[in-house]
Structure 1
Amino acid sequence: MNAIDITLVMFVAVVASGFITRMMPWPIPLPLVQIGLGAVIAGVFNHGIALDPEVFFLLFLPPLLFLDGWRIPKEGLLRDRFAIFQMAFGLVIFTVVGLGFLIHWMIPAMPLPIAFALAAIVSPTDPIAVSAITARIPMPKRVMHVLEGESLLNDASGLVAFRFAVAAAVTGAFSLSDAALSFLWVALAGVGVGAGFTWLMAWGKRRLLKRYGEEPGAEILVSLLIPFGAYGLAEHVGASGILAAVAAGIVMSYVELSGHALASTRIQRTVVWNTLQFTLNGIMFVLLGEQLPRIFRGAVQVVEETGHVNPWWLLFYAVVINLALAALRFVWVWGSVKVARWLASRREEAIPDPGTRLTLAVSLAGVRGAITLAGVLTLPLVLADGSPLPARDLAIFLAASVVIVSLLTASLSLPHLLRELNAPPSAESHAEEDLAREAVRPASVKAIEQRLHDLLRQHPDTDPQRYISVAEHLMQSFNLSHHGALDKDSDPALVREVIAIEADMRLAALQASRDELFRLARENEISEDACRTAVRRIDLQEARL
């Protein structure tokens, strides 16, 4: 069976995984099902897919990182920036150093740079996996925002650290000063390239749309190409394509607040991106399961080179690494909370103590997933002198074990830790919804009045009462998705005309409502999430019209 056939089978496995999780009598994380299906594929077809690491990196990471940056709540990112930054950068460095030395001490056959690379690639967390696990558990919303923000930024910091470690392993040389200067260039240039490329694409697109109109298919295709363009351009100039993709996604979220896209384009684009996200994440987990047998055989060979004939040492290594990751994360979170409370007391501010249970939950919520898999599979096959990269299969196996064990640990422990947790629902979202509704009503009324004047001026020979009655009904009801009452015995031509008038006025009111929501989001009076949800409702109403 050739690679194309196996790829199609893997797509079928991604589709089947969703049905299997719903058929299971007990909750089980979707990624674990996909990994299991991948292992079944490998066992049935006895054939693997060999992907070039750089190609794999290019195909999977840019769109996933771009989408993370696009959809993460920016107001939460700014409000909790201290907690997020120290988790996303400080914890990554703490993990790379502590876990790297531990792995090298425990497995002497794995060179220190490879150990650092493994520690770096298992440091990024996956918010999609933990969100699926905590979907029906009362995880405090602000804690979820911190976890999401941490995941967005530690994807970049962990992968950049991984790149440096791999470069040191391949070349055999490493300079801390050169690495620091290189990191500054890689980070700043990457962010600049990603942000600038997205703004340039948005500017050019607006110019074309004003002149030639909008084609939803082309608009969606442009949004799909932006992360690849930003990533490729950044890599071409020696910057971080990872940070460029993240920055492109963040800028894209601000571009969206201009409200230039058509409602139909936003609806279709959301469906396309949701499908792409589900597919890419699923394919990576299925691919991991498909490669597990070969990875396991290579890992056993490396273990034998360390003098341990029994392959059960692989399980020991995996357990120790997972315990070390959890311990390092708990120590960092606990210490950060203590430092934050001490600094707050110096400023005579009060920060509530989250308690040991919530601290432990945050520590165990550091689930690894798609980014870890995508990154570790890009380990080069050979060194600069052409010899095989030492312990490559073992590093991939251990990274895969971290993903699997962290998913199992979180799915089993978080429901118990968060059960009956005192997490009162936040009133912030309800207040934003009320503010949005109150702001939208006068904007809708004003738009209907303006459209009424325009129609009266455009049709001076038509009975003005026909337009006035429709406008009065809409302004009184504020129900822009329901037709006004018509006499069932009315003339059909009159009925069609009144319906057309109502649709015309509704469209004007919906557009004004949407513009007001975008304005509130741009001025930070409501969150992007609240804006996105309300705009989607309006888009669906407009699509029906």
Structure 2
Amino acid sequence: MEIVFTVLILLLAVAASGAAIRVLPFALPLPLMQIAIGAVLAWPRLGLHVTFDPEIFMMLFIPPLLFADGWRIPKREFFMARRSILMLALGLVFMTVLAVGYFVHALVPVISLPVAFALAAVLSPTDAVALSGIAGRGKIPGRLMHILEGEALMNDASGLVALKFAIAAALTGVFSLREASISFVIIAVGGLAVGAAVSWVFSFLSTRFLDLSEEGDPAPGVVMTLLIPFAAYLIAEHFEWSGILAAVAAGMMMNYATIANAAPVATRIRASNTWMMIEFVFNGMVFILLGLQFPHILGRALLDAHETSDAQVWRLIGYIAAVAVALYAMRFVWVWLLRWFASRGAAKHGVTNAVPGLRTVTVTTVAGVRGAVTLAGVLSLPEALPGGAPLPGRDLAIFIASGVILVSLLVAVVGLPLLLRGWRRGKDPHAAEEVHARTMAAQAAIRAVDDVHETECADLDESEAAYAVDVTARVMDGYRRRIVALGEEPEPREMARRADALEFRMRLAAMRAERGALLALRHSQEINDETLNRLMREVDLAETALTARRK
């Protein structure tokens, strides 16, 4: 009963966080609000304490979130930026492990070198979920945001693999770079292969054994999509491969799966709505759990240090600040060097003024927000050595990691809006291709309507054929007006846009009147709830399509 009560409280907290940011007189990122709510719930008098089990957390929360991110991220932009992403997700991670690991050991000698490497490994992955919640969608230029999202998708695996070998070295005292490199390749390739295979098998089975027709129930297919990330993660982990990369690969493969493209509209809409809700709830749970842990980790350590001396308190705070500065410095230098080498290559091809932009490098540095994966990783450090002795420096490593997470969130909350203010993003690089796609789609629709007209009117008499011509003209008119509105001629385009805006207002008013009439009929008991829901869904889908096209 206590578990049920705790889950309900956490769900209520997630919902309350979404409502709270709308009523606040100032803008506050949702992740920070959720962390604050979690910290309040950790107040001793409330009696709510959730034990953070890293293994359960990684299995329950991370796969669906990474799966959704992998499904959503633009694949073309991901592959175009693959060099930058890999240099950040692999190169920066391993350089961070080495440089920050030695720095932590020199700063805090009580933390052994393997544990320092483990701490650096869990601090190396970034959190794109927290970043998008802090910066907001569309605030960071598209190409840079794609790189940051791709980095966050891939560096979780590289950071946790580095953590695995650091823990093994701490427990056994043995480390082989050759063995670690070979194991990393096997773990990464195995995880990617498992994820892609699971998505393909799901698509194969769904198209053959599930009823994916328009009349079929879309619920089984939607439920199966919910199981894909967990299946990919568990299968990969069973073979000791990367479950994180398996979840990412499964999500990326979904864009190429038959079920994602050939499924009926009802299935796609329901799956999209379901995943939006899951992302909101799971993301909220992650940050509230972070907030629940911070008072117990940070507060308890600072209180214990205060009982010793004030100097000890400042020493602990200094450890957090020093490690955070080292991480930012390492990231800044690495990104600057990457952009400098890229500018040198561009200059060789005749591109002038190809120099690293200080603002871009700084935004990329500040955007390296640490999140829940870091906390889960550091809490997975074993408590004791094989001989039974406590692992030296474990509690201090957990304290430093928690503090760095909080610092990175606060720095991003304050720094990103300042850095992004006044940044001229320029024209949308995808605007032209969107106009082209809309034009081609409208032309294809006109041709399809014309083909249907010829087929349907072949055996009609004169009066029926005239009526069919009128219907065809009305259907085609909307698509012709859309093509004119997308054209280059100013006067016809403006007239088409005005007509389109008038039609939009009329259709929107008509749909809302439909909805009001349906509710009135249900209120007067002329129709039942089943009929109301079916008709309301038709109106809702039509209004959704209308407003989506309008935006």
TM-score (norm 1): 0.81
Deviates more, 1:304-313 or 1:249-258: 304-313
- Counterparts of 1:346 and 1:217, CA distance in 2: 55
Matching of residue 68 in structure 1 with residue 73 in structure 2: no
| 1:277 maps to which of 273, 276, 279 | 279
Cα distance change on mapping 1:272 and 1:392 into 2, 3 Å: farther
Deviates more, 1:395-404 or 1:324-333: 395-404
The answer to whether the 8 Å contact 1:296/1:393 transfers is no
- Counterparts of 1:295 and 1:68, CA distance in 2: 30
Cα distance change on mapping 1:97 and 1:537 into 2, 3 Å: farther
2:35 equivalent in structure 1:
35
Shift of 1:386: 4.9
Cα distance change on mapping 1:242 and 1:303 into 2, 3 Å: farther
Matching of residue 540 in structure 1 with residue 551 in structure 2: no
1:184 equivalent in structure 2:
185
1:373 equivalent in structure 2:
375
2:170 equivalent in structure 1:
169
Q: Give the letter for the 1:88 counterpart.
A: A
2:20 equivalent in structure 1:
20
Shift of 1:353: 2.4
1:116 equivalent in structure 2:
117
The answer to whether the 8 Å contact 1:109/1:305 transfers is no
Instruction: Output one character per residue of 1:383-421: Cα deviation in whole Å (capped at 9) or x when no partner.
Output: 444554444343333222222211211221222223223
- Counterparts of 2:370 and 2:191, CA distance in 1: 24
1:512 equivalent in structure 2:
none
The answer to whether the 8 Å contact 2:93/2:155 transfers is yes
The answer to whether the 8 Å contact 1:190/1:234 transfers is yes
Shift of 1:291: 2.1
**1:520-531 alignment to 2 at 5 Å?**
none
The answer to whether the 8 Å contact 1:107/1:306 transfers is no
1:205 equivalent in structure 2:
206
Deviates more, 1:119-128 or 1:222-231: 119-128
Shift of 1:226: 0.4
- Counterparts of 2:181 and 2:307, CA distance in 1: 35
Higher-RCO chain (CA-CA 8 Å, sequence separation at least 6): 1
- Counterparts of 1:388 and 1:271, CA distance in 2: 48
User: Which consecutive residues of structure 1, in runs of 5 or more, have no partner in the other structure?
Assistant: 486-535
Q: Give the letter for the 1:100 counterpart.
A: G
Cα distance change on mapping 1:58 and 1:245 into 2, 3 Å: same
The answer to whether the 8 Å contact 1:187/1:240 transfers is yes
Cα distance change on mapping 1:267 and 1:420 into 2, 3 Å: same
Deviates more, 1:65-74 or 1:213-222: 213-222
The answer to whether the 8 Å contact 1:124/1:151 transfers is yes
Q: Give the letter for the 1:283 counterpart.
A: M
Cα distance change on mapping 1:81 and 1:439 into 2, 3 Å: same
Shift of 1:424: 1.5
The answer to whether the 8 Å contact 2:203/2:259 transfers is no
The answer to whether the 8 Å contact 2:210/2:220 transfers is no
Q: Give the letter for the 2:343 counterpart.
A: R
1:96 equivalent in structure 2:
97
Cα distance change on mapping 1:464 and 1:125 into 2, 3 Å: same
Q: Give the letter for the 1:21 counterpart.
A: I
- Counterparts of 1:542 and 1:209, CA distance in 2: 32
**1:490-505 alignment to 2 at 5 Å?**
none
Q: Give the letter for the 1:91 counterpart.
A: L
- Counterparts of 2:544 and 2:18, CA distance in 1: 28
The answer to whether the 8 Å contact 1:194/1:248 transfers is yes
2:222 equivalent in structure 1:
220
Q: Secondary structure at the match of 2:397?
A: helix
Cα distance change on mapping 1:33 and 1:131 into 2, 3 Å: same
| 1:402 maps to which of 404, 409, 418 | 404
Cα distance change on mapping 1:297 and 1:144 into 2, 3 Å: closer
Cα distance change on mapping 1:297 and 1:365 into 2, 3 Å: closer
Cα distance change on mapping 1:378 and 1:253 into 2, 3 Å: farther
Instruction: Output one character per residue of 1:97-126: Cα deviation in whole Å (capped at 9) or x when no partner.
Output: 111111122222222222222211221222
Q: Give the letter for the 1:206 counterpart.
A: T
Deviates more, 1:243-252 or 1:157-166: 157-166
Cα distance change on mapping 1:466 and 1:38 into 2, 3 Å: same
Deviates more, 1:355-364 or 1:183-192: 355-364
Q: Give the letter for the 2:112 counterpart.
A: P
Cα distance change on mapping 1:198 and 1:211 into 2, 3 Å: closer
**Aligned Cα RMSD in Å?**
3.4
TM-score (norm 2): 0.81
Aligned length: 493
- Counterparts of 1:308 and 1:170, CA distance in 2: 34
- Counterparts of 2:229 and 2:459, CA distance in 1: 46
1:449 equivalent in structure 2:
450
**1:39-438 alignment to 2 at 5 Å?**
39-43=39-43, 44-135=45-136, 139-209=140-210, 214-255=216-257, 259-296=261-298, 299=301, 310-350=312-352, 352-426=354-428, 428-438=429-439
Instruction: Output one character per residue of 1:126-178: Cα deviation in whole Å (capped at 9) or x when no partner.
Output: 22322233338853322222222222222222222223223333444322221
- Counterparts of 2:427 and 2:100, CA distance in 1: 37
The answer to whether the 8 Å contact 2:331/2:365 transfers is yes
The answer to whether the 8 Å contact 1:168/1:174 transfers is yes
Identity over aligned pairs, percent = 42
Deviates more, 1:130-139 or 1:469-478: 130-139
Q: Give the letter for the 1:217 counterpart.
A: A
- Counterparts of 2:124 and 2:249, CA distance in 1: 20
**1:434-513 alignment to 2 at 5 Å?**
434-456=435-457, 463-478=464-479
Shift of 1:70: 0.9
The answer to whether the 8 Å contact 1:281/1:370 transfers is no
User: Which consecutive residues of structure 2, in runs of 5 or more, have no partner in the other structure?
Assistant: 483-499, 508-540
- Counterparts of 1:304 and 1:392, CA distance in 2: 20
Deviates more, 1:208-217 or 1:117-126: 208-217
The answer to whether the 8 Å contact 2:457/2:465 transfers is yes
